[in-house]
Structure 1
Amino acid sequence: MAGRLEGKVAAITGAASGFGAAAARRFVLEGAKVVMGDIQDAPGQALADELGDAARYVHCDVTIEEQVANMVDTAVSEFGQLDIMYNNAGIVGSVGPIATTPADEWKRTFDIHVHGTFYGCKHAARVMIPRKAGSIVSMTSTAGIMGGLGPHAYAAAKHAIVGITKNVAAELAQHGIRVNCIAPAGMATAMVAALSGDHTAIEETEKALALASPLKGRGGRADDVVNAALWLASDEAGYTSGHTLTTDAGYTTGAAFPTPFAEREDFVAEAGKRGMDS
C-alpha cells in the first residue's frame, strides 16, 4: 500500500547509509519529502540526487546542536513543515571491559546516541508544537531494554533513549505529538557486518544472524526496522506513543533460550507436593 506518508515531511539523521538510507528511500516511495542529514557527505548527497526533488541533503553532525537545528529548519524552509523526526544516527562506540573503558570513548558514545537524540527531539518539538501534530521516532536497541546484549557505553546510551522517549512522549502528548522508539536486535547492516571485519559482507552477516535467530532461518534485515519506523511515523500508529517497538524475532522475550518447563508435569503445590488433590 503506497502513499502511507503522502503529504508529510521527514527529517532523518544518519541517512547516508544503513537504516537511515533505507528509510529515506522508503519514505519517499510512500509519498514523503525527506531531509537527510549525515557526516558522510558524498554518499548522502548521492542518495539525495538519486531521490530527486523529494529529497535534500545537509551535513549534520548530531553531536552539534546547531547542525541538528539547521536540519530541522531546512525541512521547514524547503518543504514548509516537519511531520516526522527520525533520530537514527548511531555507532557501536566504545567496546571492552568496564575496567578499561576510556572516558573519552564513553563520552563520545553518549554524545552521538543520547545528546543527538535529545537535540533531535528538542528541535522537532520546537516546530511541531505550534502545528499540534508530529511523530518523533528514535533508535534504541535490544541492548537498551535487556542487559548483556551490547558494549557498556552503547547499552547505557540506548537505555537512556528509552527513558527520553517515555518522558518526551508524556510532555508532548498534550500537543498531539507522538514519541516512540525502535529496539532492533543485531541486523544485517554495514555496522553489524563491520564487527566481523568486513562492513560490506551484508549477505554473510544475514546468514550468520539467521543461524542464531529465535525465528529459525530468518535473520534481521534493514527493512524490518524501516517497516517499524514507517508504521510509527504514519497515521496508522496514531494512538501509539511512549512505546518501544522491538524488531528482534522475540529475543527479549527469552525466545532465544531453552523454554522452561516445556514438558508436561503434574501440578506442583506447596512444599513440592504434586497433583491437584495434594
Structure 2
Amino acid sequence: MDATITPPKDDPWGVVNMIGQSAPVDCSKPYDTSTLAGKTILITGGASGFGAAFARHWARYGAHLIIGDVNDQAGEALIAELRSSSSTGSTPNQVFVYQHCDVTSWTDQLALFKTAISASPTRSLQAVVAGAGIVENSTGPAGSVFDEPRDFDAADPAQPPPPPPLRVLAVNLTGVMYTTHLALHYLSRKSTPSSSSSQSQKDHDRHILLISSIAGLSPLPGQTEYTTSKHAVMGLFRSIRGTAWSRNGVRVNALTPYFVETPIIPAAGKLLLAGAAKADLEDVVDAATRLMADEGVKGRALCIGPKMGVVDEGVEGEAGQGHTGKEWGWGGPGVRVVEGTGVEGERKQAVWEVYGHDYERVESWVWRFLAIVNVMREVNGWTGFVKDMLGICFGRRG
C-alpha cells in the first residue's frame, strides 16, 4: 500500500467520513457528565468488577441501570445499594433492576433486554455495555489446556484428548456477540415520547460499549482462550464501528484495560503482578464514562494502563512518530511520554487511544477501489445504453 497517497479528508468517498468516525479523543480535556441523566443503560456482567463500578458511578449522574449477571447475590446487593443511595440523592425516581442472565444463553439475554425496555421510563435503551467476561481456571503451571500438554490417558498414549472446555470463548465472545446483536436491534427502536423535552433530546443518543482487554492488543501467555476471545472482541469492534453508525445511528466504542485489581484476575496472575504497576479502577471508570457521556465520540477505543508521565510539547507531529527525549511510548501528536518524575511540565495520564487510525490507513486502497468501481459503473452504464439503442434500432427482443 502506498501510504504517501491519501485522499483528502473532505473527500465524500473517504472511509472515515463514510462511517462517521469522530476525531481522536483528547483524554486531557474535561467532558460533560450531564448527558448521563435519564439514560437507560444495560450492563451485562454488571454485578461485580468493571460493570458494578460503572453502575455505581453512572447512578450518581442520574442514569437508569439494568444489570444482568449470574451472581444473583452480588447483583441483588448492588441494586439495593443503588436504590438506597438514590433515595437520598437528587434523583429519587431512578430505575435500578437486576435480572439473572447467563450471557451464553440467547433466551436469558433476550429476556434481559425485554426487561430493560419494560423498566425504562422511555420504554427504550440508550446504551448497552457488553461487560460479562471470565478467565481460564489455572490447573497447572501454564494455566491453559492450549499451553500445557498433558497425557490424557497414560494407558493408551494414542488415545486422542477430549475437546477443550471452551467456556471462556462462550462467555467472552459468543455472549458479547449475542449482546451486540440484541443491542443493535433494541437501540434502533424509537422511545415513547417523553413529557420532558430535555429527556427527549438525550434519548437520541445510542451507544454500544465493548469491553476488551490489554489481552486484545497483545498476547497473554497461559490465557490462550481469554486472549483469543479479547482479540475477537476487538475484531468485532473494528468491523461493526464502520456500519453501526451509518446504518443504525448507534455509536460503538471500546475499552482495553490493562491489569486492574478486580475479581477476574486469578491468584497466579496477582502473584506475577506483585510489585508491578497496575491500572487503577478509577481510570477505567473515567474512560468508560467519557465514552458514555461524550455523545460525539464514535468508533474510538481507549487503552487504560498504569499512570505515565507525559509532557505536552505543543508540536504537531505525526501519530506514532517519535520525539526526542526519554520517550518510550506513543503519546499522540505533540505529546511525549517520559520516564521518571520531576520533568518540567509533566502530568500523569493513564488513558490512551488505540486502533484509532485503522480506517485512515486503509483509506488509500478503499478510495482507489471505490474510484475504480465508479468508473466501471459509468462505463457499464454507457455500454448498456449503446446496447439498448442498438437493440431498439435492429429489433432486438429483450
Could you state the TM-score of these two structures normalised by the residue count of structure 2?
Answer: 0.55
What residue is the counterpart of 1:189 in the other structure?
262
Letter in 1 for 2:251: R
The answer to whether the 8 Å contact 1:141/1:182 transfers is yes
1:248 maps to: 305
CA distance in 1, matches of 2:163, 2:71: 26
Greater Cα shift, 48-57 or 108-117: 48-57
Paired amino acid for 1:9: T
Count how many residue pairs are aligned between Structure 1 and Structure 2: 238
Q: Distance in 1 between matches of 2:255 and 2:243?
A: 19
Mark the CA change 1:113 to 1:237 in structure 2 (over 3 Å): closer, same or farther.
Answer: same
- CA separation of 1:100 and 1:109: change in aligned 2, threshold 3 A: farther
Compared with structure 1, are the counterparts of its residues 220 and 178 closer, same or farther at alpha carbon in structure 2 (3 Å cutoff)? same
Tell me the residue number matched to 1:276. none
Q: Does the residue aligned with 1:98 lie in a helix, a strand or coil?
A: coil
Cα deviation for residue 98 of structure 1 reads 2.7
Unaligned runs of 5+ residues in structure 2 are 1-31, 84-93, 138-142, 151-161, 191-203, 309-326, 330-336, 338-398
CA distance in 1: counterparts of 2:253 and 2:222, whole angstroms: 21
Query: Quick one: which amino acid aligns to residue 75 of structure 1?
Result: A
Task: Pick closer, same or farther for the CA change 1:93–1:28 going to 2, 3 Å.
Answer: same
Q: In the alignment, what sits opposite 2:182?
A: 123
Give the structure with the larger helix fraction: 1
* Residue in structure 2 matching 1:61, options 59, 77, 102: 102
Match of 2:38, SS state, is coil
Q: Distance in 2 between matches of 1:2 and 1:169?
A: 23
State the Cα distance separating 1:76 from its structure 2 match: 0.9
Q: Is residue 2:207 matched to residue 1:135?
A: yes
| Contact persistence 1:187–1:209 (CA under 8 A) | no
Paired AA for residue 83 in structure 1? Q
Asked if 1:104 is matched to 2:177, the reply is no
For 1:152 and 1:20, locate their aligned partners in 2 and report how far apart those are by CA, in whole Å: 24
User: What is the DSSP-based 3-state SS (H/G/I as helix, E as strand, rest coil) of the residue aligned with 2:34?
Assistant: coil
* Residue pair 2:127, 2:187 contacting (<8 A) in 1 also: no
Q: 1:177 aligns with which of 250, 256, 263?
A: 250
CA contact (8 A) 1:28 1:54 kept: no
| TM-score computed with the length of structure 1 as normaliser | 0.77
Please tell me whether the aligned partners of residues 45 and 57 of structure 1 are also in contact (alpha carbons under 8 angstroms): yes
More displaced stretch, 47-56 vs 96-105 = 96-105
Question: Does the 8 Å contact 1:85/1:124 carry over to 2?
Answer: yes
**1:12 aligns with one of 27, 43, 50:** 43
Written as runs of structure 1 = structure 2, the 5 A alignment for 1:33-52 is 33-52=64-83
- Aligned letter for 2:117? V
1:145-169 deviation line (CA, Å, top 9, x unaligned)? 1124661111010000001112221
Query: What is the rounded CA distance, in whole Å, between the counterparts of 1:250 and 1:103 in structure 2?
Result: 41
Q: Which residue identity is paired with 2:104? A: T
2:62 is the counterpart of 1:31: yes
Q: What residue is the counterpart of 1:239 in the other structure? A: 297
Partners of 1:189 and 1:99 lie apart in 2 by 26
Give the 3-state SS of the residue equivalent to 1:130 in structure 2: coil
Conserved 8 A contact 2:147-2:222: no
Corresponding residue for residue 5 of structure 2: none
Q: Does the 8 Å CA contact 1:3/1:29 hold for their aligned counterparts? A: no
Match of 1:212 in 2: 276
User: 1:6 and 1:254, CA in 2 relative to 1: closer, same or farther beyond 3 A?
Assistant: same
| Pairwise CA RMSD | 2.7
Give the percent of matched residue pairs that are identical in Structure 1 and Structure 2.
Answer: 30
The letter for the 2-side match of 1:189 is T
Give yes or no for contact 1:4–1:31 (8 Å, CA) kept in 2: no
The worse-fitting range, judged by mean Cα deviation, of 19-28 and 45-54 is 45-54
Q: Which has the higher contact order (CA 8 A, sep 6+)?
A: 2
Identify if the C-alpha distance between structure 1 residues 39 and 186 changes in structure 2 by more than 3 Å, giving closer, same or farther: same
How far apart are the structure 2 equivalents of 1:13 and 1:254? 36
Residue 16 (structure 1) shift: 1.1
- Alignment of 1:89 with 2:132, yes or no, is yes
> Which portions of structure 1, spanning 4 or more consecutive aligned residues, are displaced by more than 4 angstroms?
207-210
1:71 aligns with 2:120: no
